[in-house]
Amino acid sequence: MRPSSILLALSAAVGAIAHQVEVPAEVPRNIEDFKAKHPTSDPRNAARGLSSRSGPLRTRWTMPTTAALYLPKDSLYMIGKPLDLTFLDDVQIHWDGEVKFTNDTPYWQEHAFAHPFQNSLMFWKWGGRDVKIYGDGVLNGNGQRWWNEFAGLEILDPTNTYLRPILFYGENLTNFEMEGIHEKDSPCWTNFIVTSKNVAFRDVMCTAESNNATALPKNSDFFDSLNIEDLTVERVWVNVGDDCFSPKSNATNVHVDTMYCNGTHGQSMGSLGQYAGEMSFVQDVVIENVWLLNGQHGARLKTWAGPDIGYGFIDNVTFRNFWQANNEYSAFIDSCYFNINSSTCADYPSKMNITNILFENFTGYTSGKYGTAVAKLTCSTNPDAVCENIEFRNFTVKSPCATDAEGEDAKPIIICDGIKGGIGMDCIPAASDEAKAALKKKCSVPLAEIDPPF
């Protein structure tokens, strides 16, 4: 195998960084390489499912509750009407073809299913027991027209009326697996799983790529959830413009292992605590072996502040083995979400407890947007919201601005406020002169690309 390295045409001033980062050869370079490295892995199960069941359901989308369905390679299934599949019981879908939604944006805004959380729309709904989707197929949200027409708008803007559907929505799923599928060009979030238990995504690819430079994909998170228990995400390739992974209210026992995230907003817990008076929590989460390139943040916890918010907690979350290149903050606790200024945040601080959070073995480098500050942990100033046992272990993320033009060394800093006890490393308050000076030492790096690009 050819040697792998990051190609960074860095200026002389930051040249040292370019040689400090290496992506191991086993990390895939693109989607084809990802597929080759992580082939869909369950042919035995597939064969058993198909041989024991009867067959030619492929031209109809009205499924019996118990079924095996085959979508052959090179077949295209266009869906132009909302579809309710919430009655499933022991259904296996061998999905090698393509399922694509029409892009009749006015029709879908009028007729799609709706979920009250953040004003979501859905093309279809899946629910039931023992449902497995697997194969080399494509689930295509046909998002381009949606992104073009949405350009300039904000999903969380209270006056936004341009609502876009989620590509895959599940509710009341028990024992669900998606394996090998390419989820492509979702108009909005890619997966949204609600009130479900024992859910797994394996060897899935998720991309949202626009051909229009003034209308980039927005809010195309790979994964969101409400009320989920026992969730596994393994070996997933994501190239979208929003969160790579972001369980929202009420997630318990979550394990993410091996994710590649390019151009995303990071691995995010939440946002949480958005709705007035509502309790929400995320607990018992391990996210490990993650490669994050060219995105916004790395590992992030985001909780709402403001006059009408909820309350709850984030407890026992481990982010481990994170390699990052060209992201803003490599670790970020944001207790002033969403879009509020510091005085409003101080007047109405978040009511979420944040406890037992570990950031371990973080390597790589930031984008330089925040100068030599490589992480920022801002806990709530609310005396009733505890923020404790936040720990950094083996954290060596560098800033590309750490060596200034004069060749002077400026070590990366971590900003922290409101944490009870230390974090196991030096960290300084945002209001300190040292933090202010660090934030001013901005610099930039080119896109992190992997060599060879294939």
Of the candidates 53, 129, 441, 442, which one interacts with ligand NAG according to CB under 6 A? 129
Contact of 118 with 94, CB cutoff 8 Å: no
84 is known as an active-site residue: no
Under rule CB under 6 A, residue 332 binds ligand NAG: no
Contact of 442 with 404, CB cutoff 8 Å: no
Under rule CB under 6 A, residue 284 binds ligand NAG: yes
State how far the Cα of 10 lies from the Cα of 448, in Å rounded to an integer: 10
Element (H, E) at 109: helix 105-111
Binding mask 33-52 for ligand NAG (x = CB under 6 A): --------------------
Under rule CB under 6 A, residue 274 binds ligand NAG: no
Under rule CB under 6 A, residue 278 binds ligand NAG: yes
Two structure tokens written together for 102 = 């029409």
Of the candidates 343, 383, 408, 409, which one interacts with ligand NAG according to CB under 6 A? 343
Residue least distant from ligand NAG (Cβ) = 263
Window of 36-44, 45-53, 71-79, 338-346 that interacts with ligand NAG by CB under 6 A: 338-346
Tally of CB atoms within 10 A around 235: 21
What ranges in 159-245 are assigned the alpha helix state H? none
Under rule CB under 6 A, residue 118 binds ligand NAG: no
284 is known as an active-site residue: no
Angle, CA 208 vertex, CA 400 and CA 101 arms, to 5°:
170
Two structure tokens written together for 59 = 């031209």
Backbone CA torsion sign across 154, 159, 164, 169: positive
Two structure tokens written together for 318 = 């481990």
Q: 265, 297, 334, 417: which one is catalytic?
A: 265
Window of 156-164, 245-253, 330-338, 366-374 that interacts with ligand NAG by CB under 6 A: 245-253
Residue nearer to ligand NAG on the CB measure, 20 or 212:
212
Residues 148-207 that bind ligand NAG (CB under 6 A): 148, 151, 172, 174
State how far the Cα of 86 lies from the Cα of 386, in Å rounded to an integer: 40
312 φ/ψ angles, rounded to the nearest 5 degrees: 150, -150
> Coil, helix or strand for 438?
helix
Residues 358-417 that bind ligand NAG (CB under 6 A): 360-361, 363, 386, 394
Contact of 207 with 231, CB cutoff 8 Å: no
Where on the chain is the footprint of ligand NAG (CB under 6 A)? 30, 128-129, 148, 151, 172, 174, 212, 214-215, 226-227, 239, 249-250, 253, 262-263, 278-280, 284, 286, 294, 311-313, 316, 321, 323, 341, 343-344, 353, 360-361, 363, 386, 394, 447
Q: Which residues are tagged catalytic?
A: 242, 265
